[in-house]
Chains A and B, each alone.
Chain A
């Protein structure tokens, strides 16, 4: 059973507009969430994260929102740029509960930003 779900395999956005990538989770023990970005022929790279004690974290054009009651988080990219075209993975970890803090990844969302 998937603990981290990214239900949109792909998203297409016009350059300059907002990109919103969504992620849902089922395990209430998760207390930290990360977004990774992956270009073709490269490994995933860390983008932004949020602790469960916060509801928002912002870093430049990237903002992650967390809604614990809904077990939902989203990544907003404003404004979107063609260089943002990549696959975005949502990941979650739990300090307690037997998973040893390992990251659980979603299936990814492929973002295409069109000029």
Chain B
């Protein structure tokens, strides 16, 4: 079984709809992250959480919110989706005891906003 799972894997929605992307991990890591990938732009950090009570904005947090429901679960919400949020979204985890913060990624969610 995969260590980091994301649901759904694909989603098509309409402008203005509320969308939630979910991430679960079995690695026991405290740190979790949400990234988006756009063609030619690499991976950009949206939000990150270092434990259940900790939420931090990343490089591109506008239009997104997150919830860390438990150590193993970190969800990303788009309150009112817009077309330029069409992208690949990745969840990742890391172990704070890992000195160099190697991150482990989920398989991604492809989101299309029409």
Contact = CB atoms under 8 A, between A and B. Distances in A.
B41 to A, nearest CB: 6
B40 A107 contact: yes
Interface of B is mostly: strand
Interface in A64-113: 89, 93, 95, 100-103, 105-108
B104 A102 contact: no
Nearest to B41: A107
Interface residues of B, number: 24
A93 B100 CA distance: 7
Interface of A: 6, 9, 32, 34, 36, 41-46, 49, 51, 89, 93, 95, 100-103, 105-108
Interface of B: 4, 33, 40-45, 48, 50, 56, 58, 90, 92, 99-108
